[in-house]
Amino acid sequence: MIKSGAQILWECLEQQGVTEVFGYPGGAILPAYDALKYSNIHHILVRHEQGATHMADGYARASGRVGVAVATSGPGATNMVTGIATAMLDSSPIVCITGQVGSKLIGSDAFQETDITGVTLPITKHNYLVTRCDEVARTISEAFYVASSGRPGPVLVDITKDAQQSTCEFDGKPIKPQLPGYRPDLSPTSEEYKQALELIHNAKRPVILAGHGIILSGAMQEVRTLAERANIPVGLTLLGLGAFPASHPLSLGMMGMHGEAWLNTTIQEADLLIALGMRFDDRVTGNLKTYAPNAKKIHVEIDRAEINKNVKVDVPLVGDLRAVLRELLPHLKQQDRREWIAYIDRMKGETAVRDIQNLPDSGHLYAAHVINDIWRETRGTETIVVTDVGQHQMWEAQYYKHEEPRTLITSGGLGTMGFALPAAIGAKVARPNAEVWVVVGDGGFQMTMAELATLVQEKLKIHIAIINNGYLGMVRQWQEFFYDRNYEATPLLNPNFVKLAEAYGICSCAVTQRTEVVPAVKAARQHNGPVLLDFQVEQEDSVFPMVPAGAGLHEMIRRPSPIVETAADA
């Protein structure tokens, strides 16, 4: 059958199982939008193309399926850059489709022309420029395959206007990707397996470093078996949260810059690190020179370019985590490490006394209270928390206990403010039955709050908890600790968030007392529609513990005990 490139595009997306796309129309992508009438795909109109990419990202992270964002050429395409870079650093499978000026105009600085394949070269896993309608089908098939296989990542497909408009023969049969140079499936040698097992069996003080790769690979059960059989405690990276149940006796919580003190100490004192699908990011290691000085390291990782990048490892196991563990587990011996685990438990006990949760109500509302209360109210239900970036993100990681994978969606690697609201929309679209909470700072919220309109337009029931401290809190904290409390450009003049929400027809209220938190959360959950809660929290609270940038992982700044109410009181 003769079809236009635009028709072929939507048909191929349907073949890939796409049911929703997030997009914004414009001149160079108009033929594709016109052809939407032939498709069953639901197009969600966003308010800014950055939002479309974060939604596709949130969709992918919530579901494991590829998220799709659509934009026009020029500014439409460049607005996607932040979202693409976010997906790249967090290995999130998204496909971005952009319109491009007619192929004959390429290079002429035509209206709304940007070399978007050039711009996104270093921030995509791969990208394509399609100039002919008969290339559309194969490209879409390859784009989805590349985005979702191996270490997932964003793929951009730039399609010229004439490629969308012109017609060619299309039989509707799925086209296989032709990628002779692409090899997403490597596996370790038997010698490497042997060495890894030997290290595990000989270790006295091992710890598992559990990362995002576990969730991407679907290796939760295998990791649990590994930990339980060999009795190895498990620390998690920010993006790893949910890969191992927080309530499990072997779980040590989050590691790194704002990780749990006992876990950071455990890593520093360990004699073996078993890194599973994580990449030794600087936020996780602190100073590399003093990182886990006595530990041998096993690194299970699908991307071999990560091996020895930051931390020199003794045994690399390059391959899909689930496949590697399945190979390893039958040879793994039952082991007892009671002493090591008891030692870590003692450290946990010492730290708990500093926990803000265990302090009497002083009338101050702390972000930690809010997040912990949201967790208490939603525990046991299918709830996805989507956070923004900053202090509230770290408090979420510390005080919301994630039991299941894909229940925390957060921008880790790129640390993209403005991520939360659009990503939550994507997550809700992907999993309409899940309860979705946005935990966002007053700063980040204002970066992408235009997407409130998208949320209302799509009639999505999402709960938004603004952790409003009137500051760009994390930056303020750095200014407090390292810049002599010079709060330059961090105090925020905020709009009335409640009135703002009402303007969009969103139910809203402000919460200022600790006693009001639970009733507000309960009311929000019962309300039939989206709710925005403006939690006006302690302005100058800081996230503890904190490993200052460049310091060793054990050199943590701890929460002063007894607690100092605010920095100003100190």
Partner 1 sequence: MLNTYVVYVENKPGVLARVATLFRRRAFNIDSLTVGRTEKPEVSRMTIVVDADHDQALRIEANLYKLVNVLFVENITNEPAILRDLAMIKVAVTQEARTQVFKLAEVFNARVEDVAPESVTIEITGAEDKIDRLLEVLRPYGVLEMVRTGVVAVRRGSKSSAVSTGTATGANAAEPGVPNEDVSYSV
**Other residues' Cβ atoms within 10 Å of the Cβ of residue 327:** 16
Decide if residue 104 touches partner 1 (CB under 8 A). Answer: no
Decide if residue 10 touches partner 1 (CB under 8 A). Answer: no
* Residue span 107-146 as binding mask against partner 1, x where in contact by CB under 8 A, dash where not: ----------xx--xx--xx--x---------------xx
Q: What is the Cα–Cα distance from 487 to 485, expressed in whole angstroms?
A: 6
Q: What is the Cα–Cα distance from 236 to 253, expressed in whole angstroms?
A: 6
Query: Applying CB under 8 A, which part among 97-105, 187-195, 286-294, 471-479 lies near partner 1?
Result: 187-195
Contact residue for partner 1 among 34, 134, 303, 355 (CB under 8 A): 303
Q: How far is the CB of 303 from partner 1 (least distance, A)?
A: 7
Phi, psi of 440 (to 5 degrees): -145, 145
Decide if residue 307 touches partner 1 (CB under 8 A). Answer: yes
Contact residue for partner 1 among 17, 180, 380, 562 (CB under 8 A): 180
Q: How far is the CB of 150 from partner 1 (least distance, A)?
A: 9
Q: Are 448 and 421 in contact (CB under 8 A)?
A: yes
Q: How far is the CB of 253 from partner 1 (least distance, A)?
A: 31
Contact residue for partner 1 among 43, 65, 309, 461 (CB under 8 A): 309
Query: Applying CB under 8 A, which part among 171-179, 221-229, 285-293, 555-563 lies near partner 1?
Result: 171-179
Instruction: Give the chain's radius of gyration (CA, Å).
Output: 24
Contact residue for partner 1 among 43, 132, 248, 304 (CB under 8 A): 304
Q: How far is the CB of 121 from partner 1 (least distance, A)?
A: 5
Rank residues 273 and 546 by Cβ distance to partner 1 and give the closer one.
273
Record the tokens describing residue 515, joined without a space.
């006693």
User: Residue 341 contacts by C-beta under 8 Å, 6 or more apart in sequence?
Assistant: 231, 233, 250
Rank residues 174 and 491 by Cβ distance to partner 1 and give the closer one.
174
Name the DSSP letter for residue 357.
G
Decide if residue 176 touches partner 1 (CB under 8 A). Answer: yes
Rank residues 46 and 101 by Cβ distance to partner 1 and give the closer one.
101
Q: How many DSSP H helices and E strands does the chain contain?
A: 23, 20
Q: How far is the CB of 180 from partner 1 (least distance, A)?
A: 5
Decide if residue 316 touches partner 1 (CB under 8 A). Answer: yes
Q: What is the Cα–Cα distance from 538 to 552, expressed in whole angstroms?
A: 29
Q: In the β-sheet with 383-387, what is the strand arrangement from edge to edge?
A: 408-409, 383-387, 435-441, 462-468, 531-536, 507-511
Rank residues 130 and 292 by Cβ distance to partner 1 and give the closer one.
130
**Other residues' Cβ atoms within 10 Å of the Cβ of residue 253:** 18
Contact residue for partner 1 among 27, 102, 177, 548 (CB under 8 A): 177
Q: How far is the CB of 277 from partner 1 (least distance, A)?
A: 15
Q: Where are the alpha helices (DSSP H) in 306-436?
A: 321-328, 338-352, 367-378, 391-399, 420-430
Q: How far is the CB of 145 from partner 1 (least distance, A)?
A: 8
Query: Applying CB under 8 A, which part among 79-87, 212-220, 240-248, 303-311 lies near partner 1?
Result: 303-311
Query: Applying CB under 8 A, which part among 22-30, 87-95, 180-188, 554-562 lies near partner 1?
Result: 180-188
First to last CA, the chain: 75
Q: How far is the CB of 428 from partner 1 (least distance, A)?
A: 32
Decide if residue 305 touches partner 1 (CB under 8 A). Answer: yes
Contact residue for partner 1 among 104, 194, 204, 312 (CB under 8 A): 312
Contact residue for partner 1 among 255, 317, 474, 500 (CB under 8 A): 317
Record the tokens describing residue 270, joined without a space.
């360990």
Active site (catalytic) residues? 49, 111-112, 161, 474
Q: How far is the CB of 487 from partner 1 (least distance, A)?
A: 34
Decide if residue 413 touches partner 1 (CB under 8 A). Answer: no
DSSP string of 92-139? Answer: --EEEEEEE--GGGTTTT-TT---HHHHTGGGSSEEEEE-SGGGHHHH
Q: What is the Cα–Cα distance from 391 to 539, expressed in whole angstroms?
A: 11
Rank residues 145 and 535 by Cβ distance to partner 1 and give the closer one.
145
DSSP string of 408-464? Answer: EE---SS--TT-HHHHHHHHHHH-TTSEEEEEEEHHHHHHHGGGHHHHHHTT--EEE
Hey, which residues between 188 and 207 contact partner 1 (CB under 8 A)? Answer: 188-189, 192
| Number of residues binding to partner 1, judged by CB under 8 A | 33
Contact residue for partner 1 among 181, 330, 349, 363 (CB under 8 A): 181
Q: How far is the CB of 41 from partner 1 (least distance, A)?
A: 24
Decide if residue 505 touches partner 1 (CB under 8 A). Answer: no
SS3 545: coil
Q: Which of 80, 164, 66 is nearest to 117 (CA)?
A: 80
Decide if residue 182 touches partner 1 (CB under 8 A). Answer: yes
Cα–Cα distances (Å) from 308 to 152, 263, 297, 311, 320, in that order, read: 20, 23, 10, 5, 18
Place of tokens 């809700």: 428
Instruction: Determine if residue 91 is left, alpha or beta; phi over 0 gives left, psi from -120 to 50 gives alpha, anything else beta.
Output: left
Record the tokens describing residue 11, joined without a space.
């048909």
Decide if residue 174 touches partner 1 (CB under 8 A). Answer: no
Q: In the β-sheet with 126-130, what is the strand arrangement from edge to edge?
A: 42-45, 20-23, 67-71, 94-100, 155-160, 126-130
Contact residue for partner 1 among 27, 102, 184, 548 (CB under 8 A): 184
Rank residues 49 and 113 by Cβ distance to partner 1 and give the closer one.
113
Contact residue for partner 1 among 41, 179, 456, 509 (CB under 8 A): 179
Rank residues 312 and 379 by Cβ distance to partner 1 and give the closer one.
312
Residue numbers at the binding site for partner 1 (CB under 8 A): 117-118, 121-122, 125-126, 129, 145-146, 176-186, 188-189, 192, 303-305, 307-309, 312, 316-318
